[in-house]
Structure 1
């Protein structure tokens, strides 16, 4: 099978779409497909890094997408699609939707377009919807690949496309996250964390929709004894400057060992997963229209046998199986606080859900994702049964917190 993938985001830039494009291409190649990826060069020579990949990467001059880049992308898609006989032409993200649609007459191959969540809402302006309609982006030849059931349903709500042309295919986890990590005790010692402490870790850009204040407010609701026994490691680059300042100010108002670690390389994050007790990311609904289409980071933590505390928004329920790989709760401070308490106080529960998180991460491989996307023969792999353990229901209780009031009124 010959596959042409066009993406506006790729290494060396780090991001969800870039990860998706690289890992699907890598997995498709391992399953026997002949795949070419067309990606921006970001104004640098990427030859050395690209040669390490098991597929061909053709770079074009450019960086992160801007609407002024659309004419050049249209010309690029036309040249690329006319240059070879492809079984599949895959627009891995929305900036290549119109370019591929305008050139689909140049190929007999199947036309795939991947949707990731937020861009579905961002294309609802009158001008963008008109452009999509006039160029036949979601015409009868187009098959939609959604990264979760939620994203697929959101797409169908916004566009009149038949259900049989929308395929919800959850993302996968790179084998890297299952790899060797430093000894738990050594990692804790390196960060000055005593062995008896419960370590909760969050990995996400510090931005509003990731919900750090909700977690912080929940921590303020814990008993003083438990809060003094817990360390919260917050890993990720800063987002909106005003939001980061507010969060840091709030963090100083409660008695808790909360550490802002900044952006860390993946190998250090993998080591920290091995030294932590559970993962926590409590995303909130974003009025701007940005959504959590899936939640790959929960699976990466699961590969380190970490169960998750997560809020049931967007596509997260595909990444965190409620009661099997983590505790999935509503976006309320009470529910988050109770879930954190359950995992912090119950080692047996952490172990059972951690085993389920590992099994779920193993099941959702990139090989499975590529096989389902392109109709390739999946590689044989051992079955990893996910435990059927379901923790007791979380009962409501009365909260009281100054931080809770801030969280409830924050966007």
Structure 2
């Protein structure tokens, strides 16, 4: 059986959407057909060794927090590929590790696929990194993209030949985990929410995600939907500022910040909401952008209507007016109006949630994603 070497900086126990994406791709490969070579985040997010021994495939960690395409890293990657009989390589992120492609081919690797995310769209915007991304595109067999936004941005940076070889590969959703009856009542009871209208946001607490926009919109929401609660699920450096912002707007009693929650409890936290909202926005002149936003699809699978920001690829996760609404996340007014509409019209909200789950079941499951990856790795 042929094997694939996954080379990545993005791997659990380090948290994040890309980490979860790469891990799911690895776990869904056939038994005995994958090896992971990755960086070592240390014990900040738990013991990586304890995590690694639970995986159904070998995980080899370099003793560094970041893998770079250095001669030493390339030598070890080539040695692993030879010892494990790997004839294909999957780079968890094209930039910068994809620059090792030619060296990996000299180790007998026949097929190379490199994933792109929001990170690579940032590389495509700057002259020096754009040239490096163009080199990666010329060397690999396939650059993947998450959706229309990332495809257009990356395609402008790479050669026409590389752009023609780009293929879509976005994260999937486990619809058995993320479902309407995932245990939302327990979360409501835990936080004393009762039967109050709840808007839930699941994300890291960082400026791009737009939790501050939700809080600034909240006084307007409460004026129309008295008793509503904003449930912010996640942890991050923005937490203290969000707390202060809620106090400044006089809504701290109706804003609940849960902090980090175990992965096993995420579906229940989605299910505790009536509407999902994350009004993300692009920052830093386009360098800080939402690549896709798997949380919107997980919310849709849970049966919630979604309110998404218009940053980067986030709109690719919403069928406008069918599964949710897209707003400008820089301003509280559009977000407030969207939330008031969905909280105040339960029939429309329910129908959007039902259509969203049906869409995810049809187009965004991990089975679909796994088949796509198999085709890319085999050249089908």
TM-score of the alignment, normalized to the shorter chain, above 0.5: yes
Tell me the TM-score normalized by structure 2. Answer: 0.86
- Please tell me whether residue 247 in structure 1 is matched to residue 242 in structure 2: yes
- Please tell me whether residue 40 in structure 1 is matched to residue 29 in structure 2: no
* 1:260 matched residue in structure 2: 257
* 2:52 matched residue in structure 1: 50
Mapped partners of 2:38, 2:67: distance in 1: 14
Mapped partners of 1:131, 1:116: distance in 2: 15
Farther-moved stretch of structure 1 (35-44 vs 255-264)? 35-44
1:328 to 326, 329, 340: 326
Q: What secondary structure, in the 3-state scheme, does the structure 2 residue paired with 1:310 have?
A: strand
Q: CA deviation at 1:127?
A: 4.6
* 2:359 matched residue in structure 1: 360
Identify unmatched segments of 5+ residues in structure 1: 378-411
Contact 1:74 1:102 in 2 (8 A): yes
Contact 1:170 1:318 in 2 (8 A): no
* 1:75 matched residue in structure 2: 75
* 1:153 matched residue in structure 2: 152
Contact 1:28 1:367 in 2 (8 A): no
Check 1:277–1:81 CA distance in 2 against 1; reply closer, same or farther (3 A cut): same
Contact 1:78 1:100 in 2 (8 A): no
Contact 1:203 1:297 in 2 (8 A): yes
* 1:315 matched residue in structure 2: 313
* 1:98 matched residue in structure 2: 99
Q: CA deviation at 1:192?
A: 0.9
| CA deviation vs aligned residue, 1:293-338 (integer Å, no higher than 9, x gap) | 1101112222221221112221112222212221122334332121
Mapped partners of 1:182, 1:211: distance in 2: 26
Check 1:132–1:122 CA distance in 2 against 1; reply closer, same or farther (3 A cut): closer
Contact 1:24 1:367 in 2 (8 A): no
Mapped partners of 2:234, 2:211: distance in 1: 11
Pairing of 1:96-245 with structure 2 (within 5 A): 96-122=97-123, 125-129=126-130, 136-139=135-138, 141-162=140-161, 163-174=163-174, 177-178=177-178, 183-195=183-195, 197-222=196-221, 224-226=223-225, 228-240=226-238, 244-245=239-240
Q: CA deviation at 1:200?
A: 0.6
* 1:391 matched residue in structure 2: none
Mapped partners of 2:376, 2:133: distance in 1: 30
Check 1:271–1:188 CA distance in 2 against 1; reply closer, same or farther (3 A cut): same
Check 1:210–1:180 CA distance in 2 against 1; reply closer, same or farther (3 A cut): closer
* 1:384 matched residue in structure 2: none
Q: CA deviation at 1:109?
A: 1.6
- Please tell me whether residue 292 in structure 1 is matched to residue 290 in structure 2: yes
- Please tell me whether residue 60 in structure 1 is matched to residue 57 in structure 2: no
Contact 1:27 1:370 in 2 (8 A): yes
Contact 2:169 2:373 in 1 (8 A): yes
Farther-moved stretch of structure 1 (79-88 vs 279-288)? 79-88
Check 1:224–1:125 CA distance in 2 against 1; reply closer, same or farther (3 A cut): closer
Q: CA deviation at 1:103?
A: 2.4
Tell me the TM-score normalized by structure 1. Answer: 0.80
Check 1:130–1:354 CA distance in 2 against 1; reply closer, same or farther (3 A cut): closer
Q: What secondary structure, in the 3-state scheme, does the structure 1 residue paired with 2:322 have?
A: coil
* 1:393 matched residue in structure 2: none
Contact 1:78 1:99 in 2 (8 A): no
| CA deviation vs aligned residue, 1:224-256 (integer Å, no higher than 9, x gap) | 241x3210011111225xxx4443222113343
Mapped partners of 2:64, 2:177: distance in 1: 28
* 2:371 matched residue in structure 1: 371
Q: What secondary structure, in the 3-state scheme, does the structure 2 residue paired with 1:221 have?
A: helix
Contact 1:117 1:151 in 2 (8 A): yes
Check 1:24–1:75 CA distance in 2 against 1; reply closer, same or farther (3 A cut): same
* 1:407 matched residue in structure 2: none
Mapped partners of 2:127, 2:314: distance in 1: 29
Q: CA deviation at 1:223?
A: 5.6
Mapped partners of 1:152, 1:355: distance in 2: 29
Check 1:49–1:180 CA distance in 2 against 1; reply closer, same or farther (3 A cut): farther
